[in-house]
Amino acid sequence: MELLFTNCTILPMTAEKEPRTFTGAVGVADRRLALVSDDPRRIEAFRREHPGVREIDGTGKVLMPGLINTHCHVAMTLQRGYADDIALMKWLHEYIWPFEAQQTPDEIVLGAEMGIVEMLLGGVTTFVDMYWHENRIAEAVRRLGIRAMLGASYLDTSWEAFADDVERMIATTGDCDRIRLAVAPHSPYTCSPESLQRGKELARRHGLWFMTHISETEDEVRIVRERYGTTSVRHLDTLGILDDRTIGAHCVHVDDGDIRILRERGVAVSHNPQSNMKISSGIAPIARMHSEGVLCTIGTDGTCSNNDLDMWDEMRTASFLQKVATMDPCVLPAYEILKMATVNAARAIGHAGELGVIKEGALADFILIDAVKPHLMPVYNMVANLIYCGKAADVDTVVVNGEIVVEGRRIEGVDLSNLCFQVQHTAEDIARRTAAAKK
């Protein structure tokens, strides 16, 4: 499909420091941005070169890169509200893992569909996932048109099922250019050094990314130190795990040496402030990591520890939390936060220059924000308005890989009422099975 969006306020995200916006047009051809311009002659030339183009008036809307959620567990929408206000270790061992043991692959796909719909409606065009049965989650990614990096997760006790999952993922997703794959051991305290290294070797052999939870809680840090005599970051580094194809989720409890290692190895950190707040994991020193050159990005984590997949709320929280944690209102200003969710995130998943920016030649993944809203007026600084005032419900249109997947806040081919009914019924059924299994 060839598309032309005109009269938009364009936020390119290509400036290093000071954001720049301009009124112009964006043209899409061959799944890429073929035109980004305010020159009427170039816009008219694009119309002539593409006589069948579909033209959409973007008056009153901001056109910007789609958001990239760098850490979530998308199928966990089925556990939203299932286990709230509980400490992490008890939450995992007594609630989440027993619930997951009862889920079927078909139920995981349903949960993934719900999560993907939520993210698309909120302007997320790419998400980085970490879960079981990712080969099945790929089905929902294909069907709904989003872009994803799918990380097959494992514990020491689930290596065989995981290895099969990876092989199935590789076999079934190779023809979908919207899907990249990753190996995703749960954490350095639930996976032995041997299984962590086996996972990294598998990732290198197949050219996959690697992701894991790192230094999420004080309990994790204590367990790793008792077992291996060092921090989680140093432990992983000693094993040869950390490099520029590694995404570390959380990184809350890190010291000076850990931060230096993360920077030197090129590890991308996914900051999940709301999940860390809800489970009382702590406040990650993101402002400091960012200032010292660590590649920092933003993720939501799963919906049972957040409890949503709203990247707008996550960005606002990320900025505000660092300001109060450092007692410095100047840290992580709005534009730096938005870069974390776009430009930085694109680098983290190997799409630097192709995603997270609006420029000619980039992949056509972008969103239109309805900026004529009471909570977005008046406009002195558009980026500040988006980060500090923006809502997921402001997203009007979503384009992924050159295809319109959300238009007028509607997702083509999705019966939202029926999907919600199925999710409610399925979640109740799994909860009943989980309760019965505990008896």
Binding residues for Zn(2+): 71, 73, 213, 301
Please state, in angstroms and as integers, the Cα–Cα distance from residue 335 to each residue in 16, 26, 236, 371, following that order.
Answer: 9, 22, 32, 17
DSSP letter for each residue of 57-92: E-TTEEEEEPEEEEEE-GGGGGGTTTS-S--HHHII
Binding site as annotated, residues for substrate: 100, 186, 216, 301
CB within 8 A of 386, min separation 6: which ones? 11, 62, 64, 312, 334, 338, 369, 376
User: Cα dihedral sign for 370, 375, 380, 384?
Assistant: negative
Question: Tokens in use for 302?
Answer: 């799963």
CB within 8 A of 49, min separation 6: which ones? none
Is the N-terminal amide bond of 193 cis, ω within 30° of 0?
no
Binding site as annotated, residues: 71, 73, 100, 186, 213, 216, 301
Question: Tokens in use for 308?
Answer: 């949503």
- DSSP-derived secondary structure letter, 53: P
299 phi/psi in degrees, rounded to 5: -140, 165
54 phi/psi in degrees, rounded to 5: -90, 120
CB within 8 A of 207, min separation 6: which ones? none
Count other C-beta atoms under 10 Å from residue 438's C-beta: 8
